[in-house]
Every structure is written in structure tokens, then in C-alpha cells.
């Protein structure tokens, strides 16, 4: 969960999000190198009163500043394309969860189990406890096993929504009449928070998402309890 004055991304709770954070730092490092080089050259040209015909015209320098950006773009594009393919690939899922966006709450269906579905509403402010977070906690949490590939199917019943968990690196649009699919694997236990990221009406800010990541044996116990 993001905290006050957090200047960076949230801690990754999935392998994909960890790779996204690494890629973010990788690109920032390249940008810092480019900015430093350009700033140094600008200051040098401003402070230096002498001129050189080799700097004003020369095939070597023109070739260099044409090829160098192309090489830099390759160093950015290769890990970016790798991540795009990893995010699109759906492995053999051990569990399928369907999320349906409504105005203004989420409905969830565990497709691998019979009669395991529920609605998830935001906890009103007057009913919150000291251990809950305002605008983020829900009355029914999604419970998922950690270290298991999860297939997520997202759709909507009325208007456009977006099912988003920043710490998992997941953001999938919920479109009426269409099933969008994504996958993720949670790498640690804990409670993960997200919100609808598509403006969907007056109460768009009040349809949070709460995931509780637990070991497999606790998940089985929860399924047995919910199926009774």
C-alpha cells in the first residue's frame, strides 16, 4: 500500500511488479545519463567563448549523435518488450477469479468452486475501525493463495471500470459485454489494496479492492467455510 510522501513505486508483491520496478529504475538511470551529458555540453558551450569548426561541422560527430540515441533506444526497448510478453502470457492457472464491476461496487466469482461468489462494498466511514483504512477497506475481501498462478477475468455490468492493484502491477479495464483476462502470482502474504482506475460516475472514488494473500492451506479452509 502506498504511504504518505512516498516518492517511489509501491513494493512489488508479484514477480511482474518487481520486474516493472527494475525496468523503471533502469530507464531512470539512462535518462539521468542523458540529462547529465546534455547539461554538461550546454554549460560548456555557454562558458566557452572559443569556437571550433570541427564542432560546428563534422561527419564523425553527426554520425555519433545519430547512432548513440538508436543504441540507447535498443537498451530501453529490449527489456520493455520482454516485460510486455511476460505480462500477456497466461500460465496454467491454479485458480480463476472473475470480477464484475458495478456502480459502485465489485462482484467476485470463484469459477473453480460452486456457489462461491459475493459482493464487495467499501466500508462506510462511520463503521470503520482503527485497523481499517479509509476509502480502501471493503466488507468482503478477496482471499487468494500466495505463490499460485491466478487467472483474472474482468468485465462490467453497466459502465467502464478498471480493476487495478498497483503492488501487483495489474490494471485491467472492465468493459460491458467483454471479458478481459490477465494473470498474476502473489509472492508474499499480506493485504493488498487497489481502486477502480476508470472514471465511472459520481461514486468512482468509493469502490476499492482489497486482496488478502494467504498460504494455500488457509485458503482451502476459507473456501470450505464459505461453501457451507
Residue 53, pLDDT > 70, answer: no
- pLDDT at position 135 is 84
pLDDT tens readout for residues 176-191:
999 999 999 999 999 9
Concatenating the DSSP letter of every residue in 109-133 gives EETTSTT-EEEE-BPPGGG--TTS-
Percent of the chain with pLDDT over 70: 96
Tell me which residue of 36, 57, 198, 218 sits closest to 144, measured CA to CA: 218
Question: What pTM value is reported for the model?
Answer: 0.81
- pLDDT at position 56 is 65
Give Cα separations from 216 to 139, 146, 150, 183 (angstroms). Answer: 22, 7, 13, 18
| Exposed / middle / buried, residue 212 (Cβ in 10 Å: 0-12, 13-18, 19+) | middle
- Domain positions in the chain: 15-48+57-88, 95-227
pLDDT tens readout for residues 189-199:
999 999 998 88
CATH architecture, domain 95-227: Sandwich (2.60)
Amino acid at each position: 500500500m502506498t504511504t504518505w510522501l512516498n516518492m517511489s513505486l509501491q513494493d512489488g508483491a508479484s514477480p511482474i511488479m518487481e520486474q516493472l520496478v527494475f525496468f523503471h529504475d533502469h530507464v531512470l538511470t539512462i535518462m539521468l545519463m542523458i540529462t547529465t551529458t546534455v547539461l554538461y555540453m550546454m554549460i560548456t558551450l555557454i562558458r566557452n567563448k572559443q569556437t571550433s569548426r570541427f564542432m560546428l561541422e563534422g561527419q564523425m560527430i553527426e554520425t555519433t549523435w545519430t547512432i548513440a540515441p538508436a543504441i540507447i533506444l535498443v537498451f530501453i526497448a529490449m527489456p520493455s518488450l520482454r516485460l510486455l510478453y511476460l505480462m500477456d502470457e497466461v500460465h496454467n492457472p491454479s485458480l480463476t477469479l472473475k470480477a464484475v464491476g458495478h456502480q459502485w461496487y465489485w462482484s467476485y466469482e470463484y469459477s473453480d468452486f460452486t456457489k462461491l461468489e459475493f459482493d464487495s462494498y467499501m466500508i462506510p466511514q462511520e463503521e470503520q475501525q482503527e485497523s481499517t483504512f479509509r476509502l480502501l477497506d471493503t466488507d468482503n475481501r478477496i482471499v487468494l493463495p500466495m505463490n499460485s498462478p491466478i487467472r483474472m477475468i474482468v468485465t462490467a455490468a453497466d459502465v467502464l471500470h478498471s480493476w487495478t492493484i498497483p503492488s501487483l502491477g495489474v490494471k485491467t479495464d472492465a468493459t460491458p459485454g467483454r471479458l478481459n483476462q490477465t494473470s498474476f502470482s502473489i509472492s508474499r502474504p499480506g493485504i493488498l489494496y487497489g481502486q477502480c482506475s476508470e472514471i465511472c460516475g459520481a461514486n468512482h472514488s468509493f469502490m476499492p479492492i482489497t486482496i488478502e494473500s494467504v498460504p494455500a492451506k488457509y485458503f482451502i479452509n476459507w473456501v470450505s467455510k464459505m461453501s457451507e
